[in-house]
A and B are shown apart, each in its own frame.
Chain A
Amino acid sequence: MPLPSRGACAIAAETTPQPPPDAARPAAAATAVELRGITKRFPGVVANKDIDIVVQRGHVHAIVGENGAGKSTLMKILYGEQKPDEGTITIEGREVAFASPADAIAASVGMVHQHFMLADNFTVLENVVLGAEPTRGGGVLDFGAARRRIREISDSYGLDVRPEALVEDLGVGDRQRVEILKVLFRGARILILDEPTAVLVPHEVDELFDNLRELKAEGLTVIFISHKLDEVLAVADEITVIRRGTTVATVSPRAVTSRQLAELMVGSELPVPELRESTVTDVPMLTVEDLTVLSKDGRAVVDAVSFTIHGGEILGIAGVEGNGQAELVEAIMGMRSLVTGRVRLGDEDVTARSTRERREGGVGFIPEDRQRQALLLEAPLWENRILGHQTQRPNVSGPWIDRAGARKDTERIVRDFDVRTPGIDVLASALSGGNQQKLIVGREMSGEPKVLIAAHPTRGVDVGAQAAIWDHMRDARARGLAVLLISADLDELIGMSDTLRVILRGRLVADVDPRSVTPEELGSAMTGAEAK
């Protein structure tokens, strides 16, 4: 259903930002956005170099590249959150320079962020109108007008959003729809979507793409950033590939295959997944029985989960973010209290033990959010080596910290895990994400743990580091390590797991064979839709 035309808006013209009337726009603007020669530098790194992109009006234009290629920085520049060091931006034939997102919004550019920018304690209405509030004389908020307009947009696009709902209570899919609503509320004609499908599964992605096609039909332009090639080929009119901060090629989706695109992105031949021998033993290393965790309002975020991981086995748990994986991991590590259930390490029941005791019992933990949970950013690498292991050799002897021992071991980790750093006295914040993660993996695999809990271990990590981490995990598995792998990267799950389960709304709902399942089947299981 098309949006009502501008004249039918219920809000007074002077209170919402309106785009300039049609007559003022240059008639020859068939291009919505032109980026020429965009360059951006940060301390120690060149994020964008000589980027050239032309986006046609009414197109869905995809920008693809690996993690760390510079896509996000580019979009921040287009949205006014960063200023380019060199280069020009032209919107609908007019050259512009954005000093802040307010300028971008005024130029009809709207951004739907990958990490949602929503205030949990506010209602949907408050989040949507912020910065573009409809008012009645003297700056007083006109709640009625706001509610009406939101309902209009929501109904037109089937976004199904209630203005009075508290954002905190909304699920991930709903929050994304609120973000889209925010952008449409401000009359955006150029929408930037930054990795919108990162948190969605195949059939939700199809719904999103239907929405995008409707937007296109109304003459809106969509710029779509992703590293998921199949999706991009399905919906885009044109694809630009970015590698190492610069534009490599602009192609039409009809003219390339997924594999060719991938090779353009990575710049070399893709590795072929290899067959392997099973290393699974029959010694249970981690057993979880009937684990239930309740949220603050009494809902079961983890609902009677049970599984066993044997030595030499990688158990993968696939699931859309927000289905209880984080809480499950925290409960296993003792960071969150459970209501019922048992956790066993080998033969020992550790349900009542503290996090420290579980770690001492041989559990390694690679947390999901490395900067907040796995690192002390302002401490040198050798102190970070001690983190999580501060009661174990070689870091300590008795109540004392063994500096020499910790430093020597840090050097070993840097060597064995190829952590690119000039030294071990460097602060952790100075390392790239991939190297930080390699250090963390090396640390957690030290001391020959019996069980490794790995939550999204290669998220935000460049391809080289990712392959290295996978290799280390496989080697450790061959030596008898049991691994719990939580991930949203379907290729990672399929490629690494010996056993693959699916978590949905806190329950383990499916047991699939990683050797024969396809990403589509897995995705359907993750949303509870019918497989095949």
Chain B
Amino acid sequence: MSQSASGLRPDVQPQAPKRTLRLTRPMIYLGIAGFLVLFSLVRVLAGAGDLTSSGQIGATLGLAVPIGMAGLGGLWAERAGIVNIGLEGMMILGTWGAGWAGYQWGGWAGVAAGVAFGALGGLLHALTTVTFGVDHIVSGVAINILALGLAQYLSAVAFTGVRGGGPTQSPPVSPRIGTITVPWLADALGDLEQKGWFLVSDLASILRGFTNQVSLLTVLAAALIPISYFVLWRTSFGLRLRSCGESPHAAESLGVNVYRMKYIAVIASGGFAGLGGAFLTIVAAGIYREGQTGGRGYIGLAAMIFGNWRPGGLAAGAGLFGYTDALQLRGGGESVHALLLLIVMLVAGVAALNFVRGRMGAGLVSAVVGALVLAWYLSTDSVPGELTTITPYFTTLLVLALASQRLRMPAADGLVYRRGEAG
């Protein structure tokens, strides 16, 4: 295997200059408003009340947090130039640590343990990639294997024979972590939501989802996003860390200790993944269970790529994947079925855009796809149970396929860096 750890990157050559859409603040607000209208419309047309209900939003938050934390971990590592495929494994370690400490000493102890376990995984990854110069992806895959085996073994040792536990699960975490509710607002919004009015009720229910019975850990996790932005883009530590991911040799020549920065970044990365795992154990499920992470470490990476390696975009990506995950878990077949209508509308928009821009071929393809999805929607009542489970993964693929071209990763991401090799 060659030196470049990020794998192949085929040069995608532009044929003619594309007019790139600059994502400015007003555009973002406009986009959000547009989506709100779209969702509201679909809810009314399809009669799928759960699409924007406060319960759905609450669930979205709950499922977005682990993905978002994994993605944040990925962001910290990749901004320092290390690709961290081992996030899934570090998350697994986090779930185990949280379960083990959680049932003995309570929820917050579980959080601390989860973060610590994840950080240890990060330390291992840093050791192999930074000190030994192993290909980043290979190391990440190896760590995933190790984490899985470790969790299995440790469960067999620590949880068998304990009441409520077993070789694949821990006893329940207690006491759990509290939630907060904004008192008067939650009730008022709840009333509005019941009315079922177009747009107003949807807005109310979305706000209620954010203010009703939100776990304290969710609040902490959400705060970490703007904090990460501030640390990485507004402090000298952050500048040095990012320079390791953009041009480590330049950083080295200016006296930045590149190895140390990478270590810190990757350990932090593991810590974030561990936090995401702790959330799964303590808040989402209440116990540690084998296989709990379900690929969320990887989805987190996808969210990071979707967010163009920025915390704000990452949060949006995590929200998107969390939403589809929540939808299929709660409403199952019918809600996913309603999503089909949403897809039809989006594809119709894409087709129209293509025709306007004169791209006939692409427009035709989009139109055909839209028609097929519409046919599927009209001819069925719901999507079969086994297939709804793939919704978040399918969404991930779709999003990556559509968005990948416009993105820019840190310039030295994946580079196996050795000190003193410049010039």
- B241-287, CB < 8 A from A: 242-243, 246-247, 249-257
Contact of B423 among A76, A131, A378 (CB under 8 A): A76
- B55-90, CB < 8 A from A: none
Contact of B253 among A101, A126, A135, A297 (CB under 8 A): A101
Q: How far is the CA of A456 from the CA of B270 in the complex (A)?
A: 46
Is B240 in contact with chain A by the CB < 8 A criterion? yes
Is B239 in contact with chain A by the CB < 8 A criterion? yes
Is A254 in contact with chain B by the CB < 8 A criterion? no
Closest to A140 in B: B235
Known interface pairs A139-B236, A139-B237; A119-B420 also in contact (CB < 8 Å):
no
Q: How far is the CA of A28 from the CA of B257 in the complex (A)?
A: 35
Is A27 in contact with chain B by the CB < 8 A criterion? no
Residues of B within 8 A of A102 (CB): 255
Q: Are the CB atoms of B246 and A120 closer together than 8 Å?
A: yes
Residues of B within 8 A of A194 (CB): 423
Q: How far is the CA of A131 from the CA of B410 in the complex (A)?
A: 19
- B367-412, CB < 8 A from A: 408, 410-411
Contact of A111 among B235, B239, B243, B253 (CB under 8 A): B253
Known interface pairs A81-B420, A121-B410; A337-B255 also in contact (CB < 8 Å):
no
Q: How far is the CA of A125 from the CA of B420 in the complex (A)?
A: 25
Is B356 in contact with chain A by the CB < 8 A criterion? no
Q: Are the CB atoms of A135 and B236 closer together than 8 Å?
A: yes
Is B26 in contact with chain A by the CB < 8 A criterion? no
Is A444 in contact with chain B by the CB < 8 A criterion? no
Q: How far is the CA of A37 from the CA of B190 in the complex (A)?
A: 82
Most B C-beta atoms less than 10 A away, residue of A105, A129, A140, A378: A140
Q: How far is the CB of B13 from chain A (nearest CB, A)?
A: 5
Q: Are the CB atoms of B250 and A127 closer together than 8 Å?
A: yes
Closest to A104 in B: B255
Q: Are the CB atoms of B249 and A117 closer together than 8 Å?
A: yes
Q: How far is the CA of A127 from the CA of B242 in the complex (A)?
A: 11
Is B16 in contact with chain A by the CB < 8 A criterion? yes
Is B422 in contact with chain A by the CB < 8 A criterion? yes
Is B15 in contact with chain A by the CB < 8 A criterion? yes
Is B234 in contact with chain A by the CB < 8 A criterion? yes
Residues of A within 8 A of B16 (CB): 294, 339
Q: Are the CB atoms of A130 and B15 closer together than 8 Å?
A: no
Q: How far is the CA of A75 from the CA of B266 in the complex (A)?
A: 33
Q: How far is the CB of B202 from chain A (nearest CB, A)?
A: 39
Interface majority SS (helix, strand, loop, mixed), chain B: loop
Q: Are the CB atoms of A120 and B239 closer together than 8 Å?
A: no
Is A72 in contact with chain B by the CB < 8 A criterion? yes
Residues of A within 8 A of B246 (CB): 119-122
- A318-350, CB < 8 A from B: 336-337, 339
Q: How far is the CA of A509 from the CA of B16 in the complex (A)?
A: 26
Q: How far is the CB of B46 from chain A (nearest CB, A)?
A: 41
Known interface pairs A81-B420, A133-B236, A296-B17; A119-B253 also in contact (CB < 8 Å):
no
Known interface pairs A72-B423, A126-B239; A378-B2 also in contact (CB < 8 Å):
yes
Is B358 in contact with chain A by the CB < 8 A criterion? no
Known interface pairs A121-B410, A296-B17; A113-B423 also in contact (CB < 8 Å):
yes
Interface string of A86-126 (1 = CB under 8 A from B): 00000000000000111001000001011101111110001
Residues of B within 8 A of A407 (CB): none
Q: How far is the CB of A120 from chain B (nearest CB, A)?
A: 6
Q: Are the CB atoms of B253 and A294 closer together than 8 Å?
A: no
Q: Are the CB atoms of B17 and A113 closer together than 8 Å?
A: no
Is A132 in contact with chain B by the CB < 8 A criterion? yes
Residues of A within 8 A of B239 (CB): 126, 129-130, 133, 141
Is B14 in contact with chain A by the CB < 8 A criterion? yes
Q: How far is the CA of A47 from the CA of B411 in the complex (A)?
A: 31
Residues of B within 8 A of A140 (CB): 234-236
Interface size range of chain B in the complex = 20 to 34
Q: Are the CB atoms of B423 and A337 closer together than 8 Å?
A: no
Q: Are the CB atoms of B252 and A82 closer together than 8 Å?
A: no
Is A182 in contact with chain B by the CB < 8 A criterion? yes
Known interface pairs A120-B411, A294-B17; A141-B235 also in contact (CB < 8 Å):
yes
Q: How far is the CA of A118 from the CA of B246 in the complex (A)?
A: 9
Most A C-beta atoms less than 10 A away, residue of B237, B250, B257: B250
Q: How far is the CB of B268 from chain A (nearest CB, A)?
A: 16
Q: Are the CB atoms of B234 and A141 closer together than 8 Å?
A: yes
Interface string of A220-236 (1 = CB under 8 A from B): 00000000000000000
Q: Are the CB atoms of B254 and A130 closer together than 8 Å?
A: yes
Q: How far is the CA of A102 from the CA of B252 in the complex (A)?
A: 9
- B120-146, CB < 8 A from A: none
Is A298 in contact with chain B by the CB < 8 A criterion? yes
Q: How far is the CA of A296 from the CA of B15 in the complex (A)?
A: 9
Residues of A within 8 A of B237 (CB): 139
Q: How far is the CB of B88 from chain A (nearest CB, A)?
A: 28
Residues of A within 8 A of B247 (CB): 117-120, 122
Q: Are the CB atoms of B411 and A117 closer together than 8 Å?
A: no
Residues of A within 8 A of B235 (CB): 135, 138-141
Q: How far is the CA of A111 from the CA of B422 in the complex (A)?
A: 13
Q: How far is the CA of A339 from the CA of B242 in the complex (A)?
A: 36
Q: How far is the CB of A71 from chain B (nearest CB, A)?
A: 11
Q: Are the CB atoms of B255 and A118 closer together than 8 Å?
A: no
Closest to B244 in A: A119
Contact of B251 among A121, A130, A135, A339 (CB under 8 A): A130
Q: Are the CB atoms of B252 and A101 closer together than 8 Å?
A: yes
Q: How far is the CB of B391 from chain A (nearest CB, A)?
A: 35
Q: How far is the CB of A76 from chain B (nearest CB, A)?
A: 7
Residues of B within 8 A of A336 (CB): 13
Q: How far is the CA of A9 from the CA of B344 in the complex (A)?
A: 62
Q: How far is the CB of A116 from chain B (nearest CB, A)?
A: 8
Q: How far is the CB of B264 from chain A (nearest CB, A)?
A: 13
- A281-328, CB < 8 A from B: 294, 296-298
Q: How far is the CB of A43 from chain B (nearest CB, A)?
A: 14
Q: How far is the CA of A346 from the CA of B240 in the complex (A)?
A: 54
Q: How far is the CA of A370 from the CA of B246 in the complex (A)?
A: 24
Q: How far is the CA of A118 from the CA of B252 in the complex (A)?
A: 11
Known interface pairs A130-B251, A141-B235; A119-B411 also in contact (CB < 8 Å):
yes
Residues of B within 8 A of A126 (CB): 239, 243
Q: Are the CB atoms of A100 and B255 closer together than 8 Å?
A: yes
Closest to B15 in A: A337
Q: Are the CB atoms of A131 and B240 closer together than 8 Å?
A: yes
Interface string of A178-209 (1 = CB under 8 A from B): 00001000000000001000000000000000
Q: How far is the CB of A294 from chain B (nearest CB, A)?
A: 6
Q: How far is the CB of A89 from chain B (nearest CB, A)?
A: 17
Q: How far is the CA of A357 from the CA of B262 in the complex (A)?
A: 44
Q: Are the CB atoms of A105 and B254 closer together than 8 Å?
A: yes
Q: How far is the CB of B265 from chain A (nearest CB, A)?
A: 16
Closest to A337 in B: B13
Q: How far is the CA of A297 from the CA of B411 in the complex (A)?
A: 19
Q: How far is the CA of A378 from the CA of B410 in the complex (A)?
A: 27
Q: How far is the CA of A95 from the CA of B298 in the complex (A)?
A: 53
Closest to A111 in B: B253
Most A C-beta atoms less than 10 A away, residue of B243, B252, B253, B422: B253
Q: How far is the CA of A114 from the CA of B32 in the complex (A)?
A: 48
Q: Are the CB atoms of B411 and A131 closer together than 8 Å?
A: no
Q: How far is the CB of B298 from chain A (nearest CB, A)?
A: 25
Known interface pairs A130-B243, A337-B13; A121-B236 also in contact (CB < 8 Å):
no
Residues of A within 8 A of B420 (CB): 81-82
Known interface pairs A121-B410, A139-B235, A139-B236; A298-B17 also in contact (CB < 8 Å):
yes
16 contacts between A and B (CB under 8 A): A76-B423, A100-B257, A101-B252, A101-B255, A113-B422, A115-B422, A117-B247, A121-B246, A121-B411, A126-B239, A133-B236, A141-B235, A182-B254, A297-B17, A337-B13, A337-B15
6 nearest A-B pairs in the assembled complex, by CB-CB distance: A102-B255, A298-B17, A131-B254, A117-B250, A133-B236, A119-B246
Known contacts A111-B253, A336-B13; can you find 12 more A-B pairs with CB under 8 A?
A: A81-B252, A82-B420, A101-B255, A113-B253, A115-B422, A117-B250, A117-B253, A127-B250, A130-B250, A139-B235, A140-B235, A182-B254
